[in-house]
Structure formats: structure tokens, C-alpha cells
């Protein structure tokens, strides 16, 4: 197999290369350079150590190394999307867009199409549903390749072994052509197992901390980033239930639904439960579990099936969301917990999730990821409105 491995210098992608080599695959290693630079030349995403470790991995395993500059594509597709979403009062998810449009979009357009497979250090798996054949590094690559090309089988994105590290929600907007080409060598491992392999192999990334936060920010403070492009505008903070003005804020774009920290109000805890974009007003509710901070109905736009098919409880694959109501597991944010609910169609292409239990912090602009009832197959996703 002709494999490209996307390596960031972290422990997960480093171990992914190690496991590929154990299976007799020598990938070409690519480091994707992205950063926070605009027309004013602003950069604050140090990459020197990441590149040094990635180059060490390439030399150690005898892999060809190449650095790919996707800065402009990143700015045009991910950073601009984030700024405009925040300006509209939404809560964007740049990690979802980064995976869809950059790592498995722009990279594939520029270099990835030369390769049979693209391997990464994501905690996820893919599976050929009809054959029940796990599509991971331990599978027979030639057979898996043949299955992918067959019309009788469907490759699904599936959850990782480690429920805490599972990243399928960040991959939930990928297209089928992207999913069917991916390899996730560490998807069948717990994080502790990945660390142990890195230590045993004496990899320089073995003790590196996991990256945190939004993928494009690096070490940049989120509010500093937002302030740079949207500025500040003072507005009122109002208690939803009483209409009482409790304080002021510096712009609704610094806050998101469900937020607790950063309000600087006494007598809390306080949660942001609503935003008035036109008037620049934040509405808050008090208490650790305020009713106004919860909801059971979630409406989605842009709903689509990841693999172009829906798996029914009977095991049957259908090409669209079935009529009536479907029982599903779902997530609306990056957590190990799943919610149980019921999915149904609405007019104008919208879809509604009715959660069995109230959910805190339903934020427009985020993505809901839909799983089958076993919380294994990722079947669909859509943007919360």
C-alpha cells in the first residue's frame, strides 16, 4: 500500500507511524504547516519543535519527509469561518472544519491523491459494515482496499476503543470518499497503551502533553484572537428570569451558550442561556442546574449521512434517513458521554433530535454527531440551529 502519514510531532501520530512500520508499511510522512498569519503578518504558532520531532520520526523509521504549507487554505476556510460564525453569534467548531477542509481536504487535493491511504493519529476507526471487517492497521490492506472498491460493502466511521479520547465527533463532517481512504492505526488502543508503546520505542514524543483547545490557535488566547478581529463593545448582562441588569460584558462574541466562567458576577454560579445579537445583551440564569440552561429539542440543518447510508436496527443499510422516528445515540460536544434520543425529519430539509433527558448548553453553530444505538457507527451529523 502507498500510504501517507500526517504527523504533528505529538505522541499519537508518532505511534501511528511506529505501528505502520510494524505491519510492514513504510509511509511517506507529511507535516502540515498552518498558522495564524494574516495580511498584517501576525504569527504566533511555534512549530519548530513539532517539525524537529516529526523529522526525527521520519529518519528513525526510514520514511520520506515533506512539509506542506496549507496556510492560505487554512486562513480562507477555517479561520475566516470561525470569525464570521462568532460575528453571527454562533459557536463555531474549527476542529471539525480543519479536519474536513484541511487535513483531509486541501492536503488530499495538493498531495494526498497520490496515495492509496492517509494515516493519522486520530482516536477513531473505520469498519466495513457488511463484512464486519475491522479496517485498522492490523487488517489485510489489500483485501480492505478491494472491499472499499466494491459496491456491496460500505465503510463506516466507528468509535475508538478509548471513550475519553474518541474523536469521531471531530470527524463527523467528512465525506465518504475521505472516510474510505483513512487509516487510524491507534484507534484500537487506549491512550495509556499508546504512551506505553511510545516509551518502549523510545520516541521523543512519549511524554509530550496533548494539544489542547482549538486547533488553529496554538498558544494564542481565544479572547485575544476574537478581540483582534471583532474588537470590543460593551453590553448588558441581564438575569433572564427577572430582567435585572447584573453587570456588563465586552461583546456577545466573547461568550457562548452554556458558558459559566468569565462572567465575573457575584452570587453565582451564573450560566449564559441566551444572546440578543441585535442589542448585544447576554441573558444569564443562576444556579448549578438552571432550567433555562437546558433543552430537549435540537434542530439541525445541513444534515447528511456520512457514508451515504443509514444502518437500521435490523442491520439493513438504506440510502437516506428513514421515515418516522429513529432511535439514536448522539453528542452535541466533545465528551465521552452519549445522549439517547429520537431523530425525525422536519420540513425544508431540517432534522430534529428529541433528547430523552434535558441537555445543558445547546449552542447554535456546533455540530451534533449521530451514532447508531450501539454507539459504534457514526451515521450522520448536522449543524445546530
Start-end of H helices in 134-202? 141-148, 176-179, 191-200
Our answer to whether residue 128 is catalytic in this structure is no
d(CA 306, CA 218): 29
Q: Which helix (H) or strand (E) holds 14?
A: helix 11-22
Full 3-state SS string of 85-110? HHHCCCCCCHHHHHHHHHHHHHHHHH
Full 3-state SS string of 183-225? ECCCCCCCHHHHHHHHHHCCCCCCCCCCCCCCCCCCCCCHHHH
Our answer to whether residue 215 is catalytic in this structure is yes
Residue 48: CB atoms within 10 A of its CB come to 8
- Choosing from 63, 98, 128, 136, which is the catalytic residue? 98
Q: Point out which residues pair with 297 in neighbouring strands.
A: 354
SS3 288: coil
How, if at all, do strands 117-119 and 182-183 pair? parallel
d(CA 235, CA 153): 55
Question: Could you tell me if 5 and 27 are in contact, meaning their C-beta atoms sit under 8 angstroms apart?
Answer: yes
- Choosing from 63, 128, 136, 215, which is the catalytic residue? 215
| Residues involved in catalysis | 98, 215
Amino acid at each position: 500500500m502507498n500510504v501517507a502519514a500526517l504527523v504533528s510531532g505529538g505522541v499519537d501520530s508518532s505511534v501511528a507511524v511506529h505501528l505502520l512500520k510494524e505491519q510492514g508499511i513504510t509511509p511517506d510522512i507529511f507535516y502540515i504547516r498552518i498558522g495564524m498569519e494574516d495580511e498584517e503578518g501576525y504569527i504566533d504558532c511555534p512549530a519548530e519543535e513539532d517539525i524537529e520531532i516529526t523529522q526525527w520520526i521520519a529518519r528513525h523509521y526510514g520514511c520520506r519527509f515533506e512539509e506542506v504549507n496549507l496556510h492560505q487554505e487554512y486562513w480562507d476556510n477555517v479561520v475566516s469561518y470561525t470569525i464570521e460564525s462568532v460575528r453571527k453569534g454562533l459557536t463555531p467548531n474549527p476542529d471539525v472544519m480543519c479536519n474536513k477542509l484541511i487535513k483531509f481536504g486541501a492536503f488530499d487535493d495538493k498531495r494526498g491523491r497520490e496515495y492509496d491511504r492517509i494515516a493519522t493519529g486520530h482516536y477513531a476507526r473505520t469498519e466495513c459494515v457488511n463484512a464486519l471487517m475491522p479496517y485498522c492497521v492490523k487488517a489485510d490492506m489489500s483485501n480492505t482496499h478491494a472491499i472499499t472498491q466494491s459496491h456491496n460493502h460500505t465503510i463506516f466511521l466507528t468509535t475508538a476503543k478509548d471513550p475519553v479520547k474518541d474523536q469521531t465527533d471531530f470527524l463527523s463532517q467528512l465525506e465518504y470518499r475521505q472516510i474510505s481512504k483513512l487509516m487510524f492505526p491507534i484507534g484500537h488502543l487506549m491512550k495509556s497503551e499508546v504512551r506505553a508503546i511510545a516509551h518502549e520505542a523510545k520516541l521523543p514524543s512519549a511524554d509530550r502533553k496533548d494539544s489542547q483547545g482549538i486547533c488553529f490557535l496554538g498558544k494564542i488566547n481565544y479572547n485575544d484572537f476574537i478581540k483582534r478581529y471583532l474588537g470590543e463593545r460593551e453590553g448588558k448582562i441581564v438575569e433572564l428570569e427577572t430582567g435585572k441588569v447584573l453587570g456588563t460584558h465586552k461583546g456577545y462574541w466573547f461568550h457562548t451558550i452554556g458558558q459559566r466562567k468569565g462572567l465575573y458576577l457575584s452570587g453565582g454560579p451564573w450560566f449564559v442561556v441566551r444572546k440578543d445579537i441585535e442589542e448585544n445583551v447576554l441573558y444569564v440564569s443562576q444556579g448549578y442546574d438552571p432550567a433555562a440552561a437546558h433543552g430537549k429539542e435540537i434542530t439541525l440543518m445541513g444534515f447528511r449521512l456520512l457514508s451515504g447510508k443509514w444502518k437500521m436496527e435490523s442491520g439493513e443499510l438504506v440510502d437516506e434517513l428513514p421515515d418516522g422516528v429513529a432511535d439514536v445515540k448522539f453528542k452535541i460536544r466533545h465528551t465521552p458521554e452519549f445522549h439517547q434520543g429520537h431523530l425525525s425529519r422536519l420540513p425544508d430539509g431540517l432534522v430534529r433530535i428529541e433528547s430523552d433527558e434535558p441537555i445543558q448548553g445547546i449552542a447554535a453553530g456546533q455540530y451534533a454527531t449521530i451514532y447508531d444505538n450501539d454507539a459504534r457507527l457514526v451515521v450522520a451529523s448536522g449543524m445546530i440551529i
